[in-house]
Amino acid sequence: MRRTRDLESAQDVRFPTTIEGRSRVNIVVTDIEGTTSDIAFVQRVLFPYARTHLPDYVRENAGAPEVTPWLAMVADEIRVPGDHLPAIIAALLSWIDADRKHTALKALQGHIWKRGFERGEFKAHVFEDAVRALQRWHAQGVPVYVYSSGSVQAQRLYFAHTEYGDLSAHFQGHFDTTIGSKREADSYRAIASRIGADPSSITFYSDIGAELDAAREAGWNTVQLVRGDTLPAPGHRQVANFDSIDTGI
């Protein structure tokens, strides 16, 4: 997945400045699905929308510069010519059905969701407690980043079109799986290096234990959001929602 870094930026980052009165800049990195937002919205709205529109989108945009490299990646993986659209489309649809976190699929889904968001066909779900936390952190000058399996483009679209309006200004930057798997410690080391932060100054929020394990291995602080049917992951601080979190990080 790292080989696509030249195709679409893995980072969309504005570097943080020192927070007055603190000896260290404390930084938040958060997941989206199951953490800031209800995973049901992604599963019941976004994924079906992308699946329905993907075949036509690929056929209509196969020659577009923002699409061609991703189709080439899929073709290379399934070992078919780059212009074999039926096979590429079939592979992408099967990956959606299998909930595969493939970088090319995530990028293409982002392009498709862009049309849906811009047409007002849906608005992104964000938990109210997550909105309050984002507002608190923003007011305190705490840098907040997103690290999600969804592409950087999809993340930016998501938070620009929420039920609470455009929340883009609350984020310092975005990371996706082109920087590495969310279950590998090296990905978190790379993010810390990219934003120029000591790992011990970063707190990662996620609902997935394996992701939190990887972040902890990289020296990050970790907090698990245990919402609904989420299973508690041992070794991490657990909270029911963002209102339970000390805003001092």
Query: Which of 6-10, 71-75, 198-202 is predicted with the least confidence, judged by mean pLDDT?
Result: 6-10
pLDDT, position 151 = 85
Query: Residue 3: which pLDDT band, with cuts at 50, 70 and 90?
Result: very low
Strand order in the sheet with 11-13: 11-13, 173-175, 144-147, 27-30, 202-206, 221-225, 237-239
> Measured between alpha carbons, how far is 133 from 143 in angstroms, rounded to an integer?
12
What's the CATH fold of domain 2-37+124-244? Answer: Rossmann fold (3.40.50)
- pLDDT of 197 > 80? The answer is yes
Strand partners, 202: 27
* Residue range(s) in the chain whose domain bears CATH number 1.10.720.60: 42-118
* Mean pLDDT score, 192-221: 97
pLDDT reported for residue 235: 94
pLDDT at 127 over 90: yes
**Predicted local confidence at residue 154, as pLDDT:** 87
C-alpha–C-alpha distance, residues 1 and 151, integer Å: 12
Q: Tell me what the pLDDT averaged over the chain comes to.
A: 88
Other Cβ atoms closer than 10 A to 198? 12
Percent of the chain with pLDDT over 90: 80
What single-letter DSSP state applies at residue 44?
A: I
pLDDT band at 246 (very low <50, low <70, confident <90, very high): low
Torsion of CA 183, 95, 151, 26, to 10 degrees: -20
**Cα within 13 Å of Cα(19), Cβ side:** 17
The tokens of 81 are what? 């010519």
Please indicate whether residue 41 or residue 245 has the higher confidence score (pLDDT).
41
Higher pLDDT, residue 1 or 172 = 172
The answer to which of 147-161, 191-205, 213-227 has the lowest mean pLDDT is 147-161
Summarised one tens digit per residue, pLDDT across range 97-111 is 998 889 899 899 989
CA–CA distance, 76 with 99 (Å, rounded to integer) = 20
Show the DSSP H helices in the chain as ranges. 39-41, 47-61, 68-78, 85-97, 103-118, 128-140, 152-160, 185-195, 209-217
Does residue 129 have a pLDDT over 50? yes
**Is the Cβ–Cβ distance between 31 and 208 less than 8 Å?**
yes
Ranges of CATH 3.40.50.1000 domains, the chain: 2-37+124-244
The 3-state DSSP class for residue 6 equals coil
In sequence order, the β-bridge partners of residue 84 are none
Fold of 42-118: 1.10.720
- Tell me how many degrees the CA angle 122-127-129 measures, rounded to the nearest 5: 150
Q: What was the pLDDT predicted at 93?
A: 96
pLDDT band at 1; cut points 50, 70, 90: very low
Residue 15 reports pLDDT greater than 80: no
Q: CB neighbours (10 Å) of residue 48? A: 12
Cβ-contact 178, 154 below 8 angstroms? no
